């Protein structure tokens, strides 16, 4: 019985029924060159996978670093805009195309916190600094001023503050208002009581996401710290 697998051109019309002089490739087994290459291919694959994983890792860490770098770098740029604001410039923009401007400077001496508060508390603004919620009393003015920021950048310190801690707020007119924390609570984001206006006293409400150690953003809970002028 002829074994077609072992012989080249066995279906050929001139085939005589004897073993071919040239064995087929399949019957020869791996060539020397191939034998030398094969383990290397596996290694290369592993190397590429490792590289991809490393790149992905870099990218992710880069993202995290970007968020923090933005938060930190922007404050440096805002410092300049703030000094211009103090000199009387209205809506001094920290960089030419910014759609926000510093409205106050927030300090918590006990926590070594010092940040410039920007106008507006939308996602775009609070990436750069704490944002003053549009429509609430201007920072340092009578009424309830609400300021929001990220729990993992500018307002990370809120998890350590306690009742009685002091917050200082510099207004753009150069006045410093001192507030004392008197209440802390966790509420749902749709509970707008913290935004309520109407008190004649100077009040400050700091809002950030809760819980502080959550990995991802977008949870429904908010941590609300209320303070009243001393």
Nearer to other proteins, 9 or 28 (CB): 28
Residue 163, phi then psi, degrees to nearest 5: -55, 135
Residue 216 as a binder of other proteins (CB under 8 A): the answer is: yes
Among 4, 12, 50, 89, binds other proteins (CB under 8 A): 50
Q: Is 81 helix (H, G, I), strand (E, B) or coil?
A: helix
The 10 Å Cβ neighbour count of residue 26 is: 9
Residue 170 as a binder of other proteins (CB under 8 A): the answer is: no
- State the nearest-atom distance from the C-beta of 180 to other proteins, in Å: 22
**Residue range at the interface with other proteins (CB under 8 A); choices 4-12, 17-25, 49-57, 177-185:** 49-57
Among 74, 81, 117, 167, binds other proteins (CB under 8 A): 74
Among 186, 196, 199, 230, binds other proteins (CB under 8 A): 196
Burial 36-66 (b: 16+ CB within 10 A, else e): eeeeeeeeeeeeeeeeeeeeeeeeeeeeeee
- State the nearest-atom distance from the C-beta of 64 to other proteins, in Å: 4
Residue 164 as a binder of other proteins (CB under 8 A): the answer is: no
Helical spans, DSSP H, in 116-229:
123-126
Residue 49 as a binder of other proteins (CB under 8 A): the answer is: yes
Q: Hey, CA dihedral for 4, 5, 10, 16, is it positive or negative?
A: negative
Nearer to other proteins, 22 or 134 (CB): 134
Cis peptide before 176 (omega within 30 of 0): no
Residue 98, phi then psi, degrees to nearest 5: -65, 145
Residue 136 as a binder of other proteins (CB under 8 A): the answer is: yes
Q: What residues between 27 and 46 interact with other proteins by CB under 8 A?
A: 35-36, 38-39, 43, 46
Nearer to other proteins, 7 or 146 (CB): 146
How many residues bind other proteins (CB under 8 A)? The answer is: 88
If we measure between CA atoms, which residue out of 32, 110, 107, 134 comes closest to residue 126?
Answer: 134
Q: Are 215 and 192 in contact (CB under 8 A)?
A: no
- State the nearest-atom distance from the C-beta of 149 to other proteins, in Å: 6
């Amino acid at each position: 019985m002829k074994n077609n697998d072992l012989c080249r051109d066995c279906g050929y019309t001139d085939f005589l029924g004897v073993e071919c002089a040239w064995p087929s490739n399949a019957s020869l087994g791996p060539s020397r060159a191939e034998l030398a290459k094969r383990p290397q291919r596996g290694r290369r694959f592993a190397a590429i996978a490792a590289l991809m994983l490393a790149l992905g890792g870099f990218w992710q860490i880069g993202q995290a670093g970007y968020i923090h770098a933005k938060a930190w770098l922007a404050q440096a740029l805002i410092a300049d805009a703030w000094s211009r604001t103090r000199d009387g410039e209205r809506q001094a923009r920290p960089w030419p195309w910014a759609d926000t401007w510093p409205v106050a400077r927030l300090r918590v001496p006990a926590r070594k916190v010092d940040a410039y508060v920007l106008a507006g508390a939308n996602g775009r603004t609070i990436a750069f600094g704490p944002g003053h919620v549009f429509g609430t009393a201007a920072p340092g003015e009578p009424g309830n001023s609400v300021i929001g920021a990220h729990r993992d950048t500018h307002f990370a310190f809120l998890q350590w503050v306690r009742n009685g801690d002091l917050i200082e707020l510099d207004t753009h007119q150069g006045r410093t208002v001192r507030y004392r924390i008197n209440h802390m609570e966790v509420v749902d984001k749709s509970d707008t009581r913290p935004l309520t206006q109407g008190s004649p006293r100077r009040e400050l409400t700091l809002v950030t996401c809760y819980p502080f150690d959550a990995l991802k953003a977008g949870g429904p809970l908010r941590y609300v710290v209320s303070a009243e002028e001393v």
